[in-house]
Amino acid sequence: MDKAAALKQYFGHAVFRPGQEELIDALMASRDVLGVMPTGAGKSVCYQIPALLLPGVTLVISPLISLMKDQVAALTQAGIPAAYINSSLSAAQYRKVFQQAEKEAYKIIYVAPERLEAADFLNFSERVQISLIAVDEAHCVSQWGQDFRPSYLKISDFIKQLPYRPVVGAFTATATAEVKKDIVRLLQLRSPLLVTTGFDRPNLYFEVAAPKSKPAYLYNFLVRHRGQCGIIYCATRKTVESVCAGLNQHGVAATCYHAGLKDGERRQNHEDFVYDRRRVMVATNAFGMGIDKSNVGFVVHYNMPKNLESYYQEAGRAGRDGENADCVLLFSSGDVQTAKFLVQNSNENENLSGEEREQVLRRDLERLHKMVGYCKTTRCLRSYILEYFGERHSDACGNCGNCKSEYIQRNITTEAQKILSAVARVDRKYPYGVGITLIVRMLHGSKEQRISQLGLDKLTTYGIMHDVDRRKIREYIDLLISQGYLELTQDKYPVLHLTDRSNDVLFHGAQVISREKAVGRPERTASTGKQNASLSPPFESSENSLFEALRTLRTELAQKGNVPAYIIFSNAALQDMAAKRPQCMTDFLEVSGVGEVKAKRYGKQFLNAIQNWENGGKKND
């Protein structure tokens, strides 16, 4: 069997996606690889096909137990013998996996990185033929990555202890140039083939909203997305509990996930979401990497994440099946302080020296600054994200909240002069500077004790913007920072200063123009927005009704087999089925996403469902 035959037989696809073939060829030629591919681009196929074709077994090092379970279930459904080794197994189950592996019963074994140091696992690794080691979520090895895990630093030591060195593949969805270098260095990849297929996900619609009431916005959003499943990310456990309780009170079938739950409850909640028993998951970022559920129709961030890496990875859990999906971030100024607190109080890097911790903190604060910039920019959101990852993009994607919004131009030079004058007077009184919050309160004429303690109420600029909403003053300051008229330091406690360009506005007639969203613009989402040119055309109503019939059958089969529905067939496969309407098994195998094993297992039921629908549904055509 060759790679193309394996792709068709086990995964039901006739052609490889961009980057897959190059990575597969390199691994088959015993060359190390680093693949950076967006979520949903098919990273797992890049090591699963070599695993099928190479002798012996492939070890896949993965950080999450839930991901391993889903991956093994999906492989088993496709007819690929696989297993996992992690702390969820009993001692008897653990031994059984070893025994079966030594009998060559598996082609792929998923293992948690912490398990690599165990003596029994090392002994096992010396007794079996390991042809390939695939490191999933490889960015975890880098202290500059957003998900640094010290256990990943032990991977290279484990490889050194093997009787011979297998080929090594590292894969991730999000990595800056610096993180890529770290992956190569820390995993000790040998002259690896580097493939970056691009970070763009054209089917994802991005939007930032700043509603007066987040709960009200969220309930309305979920009404518009009735019938879809999705994830709502919150910054803290308390917010997760509050949002989840509120949704259930409003009749939304929601569950929650965070590190404070007991293992059994967390596992049950995860399964309720994956198996479609609950359509909404409310979670902290503990609901982590590699969530393999393909039919997630939306991801809402109730709070702003700490960095763009985390945001793009979490938002990227939507639309894995290639369907249109919404990624909405609900922003408020309080989110910035929460994120800053989480950054400054992170204990993830306890093994680092004091100097290294300071470096990481400065880097994390810089990344937070970029994240805040995303929330406040009026330019194309997709372009902002892609440029952050070093990828060029057109100025307008046509499929994000900013591109679809109407804007008006306002001359705010007078407001800018007031703000700059206030900062100038504060600088003269306190050369070390003060923070944005105090500047805003001073301009607004606050009578708070801190203002009087610092004597800010004695300055001539005190209260000169008393008739302007504080949030608006803050927006003006953010604009002046973005246009280079003010500078916010990147210290632990940032302060505001004038720049060399400030005098242009104060004394030389420079105009400051604000680009603001028009009031009362209609809310737009992926489902209401213009169809992206690269996506499949919308189905006719008759195909939609057939799709619903197929989806109902899939749900019944999933419940009987106790597997997630998307593991049987993805939404994309069902839609291709509805479009092609196969009449026999040969036709059925031509459906994208239908491999031979699944065709034998489910083909008859789906062919019957299509025939029954056509016999009773022609009047709908």
User: Count of CB atoms within 10 A of residue 384's CB?
Assistant: 18
Give the Cα separation of 185 and 189 in Å (integer): 7
Residue 472 has pLDDT above 60, yes or no: yes
Residue 518 has pLDDT above 80, yes or no: no
Mean pLDDT of 577-603: 93
Asked if 349 and 356 touch (Cβ cutoff 8 Å), the reply is yes
Residue 49 has pLDDT above 90, yes or no: yes
Give the Cα separation of 58 and 40 in Å (integer): 22
Mean pLDDT of 441-450: 92
Residue 621 has pLDDT above 60, yes or no: no
Mean pLDDT of 379-389: 91
Domains 3-196 and 408-517 share a fold: no
In terms of Cβ atoms closer than 10 Å to its own Cβ (0-12, 13-18, 19+), residue 249 is exposed
Q: What is the pLDDT of residue 539?
A: 33
In percent, the amount of the chain with pLDDT more than 90 equals: 53
Beta strands 229-233 and 167-172 are unpaired
What are φ and ψ of residue 517, in 5° steps? -65, 140
Q: What is the pLDDT of residue 414?
A: 94
Please report which confidence band the pLDDT of residue 505 belongs to, taking 50, 70 and 90 as the band edges. Answer: very high
Give the Cα separation of 390 and 384 in Å (integer): 10
Asked if 113 and 155 touch (Cβ cutoff 8 Å), the reply is yes
Of 227, 225, 174, the residue nearest 197 (C-alpha): 174
Q: What is the pLDDT of residue 177?
A: 83
Mean pLDDT of 203-216: 93
Which residues are 300's β-sheet partners?
A: 232, 328
Q: Any idea what DSSP says for residue 338?
A: H
Write down the residue that tokens 């997760």 correspond to. Answer: 240
Write down the residue that tokens 């994956």 correspond to. Answer: 274
Stretch among 43-47, 84-88, 519-523 having the lowest mean pLDDT:
519-523
Stretch among 225-239, 246-260, 399-413, 540-554 having the lowest mean pLDDT:
540-554
Which residues are 282's β-sheet partners?
A: 232, 256
Of 475, 218, 478, the residue nearest 330 (C-alpha): 218
The per-residue DSSP string of 382-397 comes to: HHHHHHHTT----S--
Q: What is the pLDDT of residue 347?
A: 64
Stretch among 31-35, 246-250, 259-263, 441-445 having the lowest mean pLDDT:
259-263
Give the Cα separation of 143 and 128 in Å (integer): 32
Q: What is the pLDDT of residue 536?
A: 34
What are φ and ψ of residue 393, in 5° steps? -150, 155
What's the Cα-to-Cα distance from 495 to each of 228, 377, 423, 426, 461, rounded to whole Å?
44, 21, 10, 11, 18
Q: Where are the domains of the chain?
A: 3-196, 204-404, 408-517, 541-620
Stretch among 150-154, 180-184, 346-350 having the lowest mean pLDDT:
346-350
Give the Cα separation of 421 and 598 in Å (integer): 70
Of 207, 254, 208, the residue nearest 230 (C-alpha): 254
Q: What is the pLDDT of residue 302?
A: 96
- Chain centroid to Cα 289, Å, comes to 8
Write the pLDDT tens digit of every residue in 162-204.
999 999 999 998 777 888 999 999 999 999 999 988 788 899 9
Superfamily grouping for domain 204-404:
P-loop containing nucleotide triphosphate hydrolases (3.40.50.300)
Q: Which fold has domain 3-196?
A: Rossmann fold (3.40.50)
The per-residue DSSP string of 507-554 comes to: TS----EEEEEPTTPPP--TTTSPPPTTSPPPPPHHHHHHHHHHHHHH
Please report which confidence band the pLDDT of residue 459 belongs to, taking 50, 70 and 90 as the band edges. Answer: very high
Give the Cα separation of 7 and 28 in Å (integer): 15
Of 66, 25, 83, 18, the residue nearest 49 (C-alpha): 25
Of 168, 238, 205, 201, the residue nearest 27 (C-alpha): 168
Angle between helices 436-444 and 470-482 (to 10 degrees): 130
Residue 531 has pLDDT above 60, yes or no: no
Which residues are 208's β-sheet partners?
A: 329
Q: What is the pLDDT of residue 471?
A: 86
Which residues are 61's β-sheet partners?
A: 111, 135
Please report which confidence band the pLDDT of residue 352 belongs to, taking 50, 70 and 90 as the band edges. Answer: low
Stretch among 278-287, 341-350, 567-576, 593-602 having the lowest mean pLDDT:
341-350
Mean pLDDT, all residues of the chain? 87
Find the length of the chain: 621
Four-point Cα dihedral 92, 98, 100, 102, nearest 10 = -150
Write the pLDDT tens digit of every residue in 233-259.
999 999 999 999 999 999 999 999 998
- Binning the chain into helix, strand and coil, the percentages to the nearest 5 are 50, 15, 40
Residue 9 has pLDDT above 60, yes or no: yes
Reading the block at residue 481, the tokens are: 């920072």
Whole-number CA gyration radius for the chain: 27
Reading the block at residue 521, the tokens are: 């613009």
Give the Cα separation of 337 and 369 in Å (integer): 12
**In terms of CATH architecture, what is 541-620?**
Orthogonal Bundle (1.10)
Q: What is the pLDDT of residue 6?
A: 94
Domain spanning 408-517 has what CATH number? 1.10.10.10
Asked if 567 and 595 touch (Cβ cutoff 8 Å), the reply is no
The per-residue DSSP string of 452-499 comes to: HHTTGGGSTTTTTTTTS-HHHHHHHHHHHHHTTSEEE--SSS--EEE-
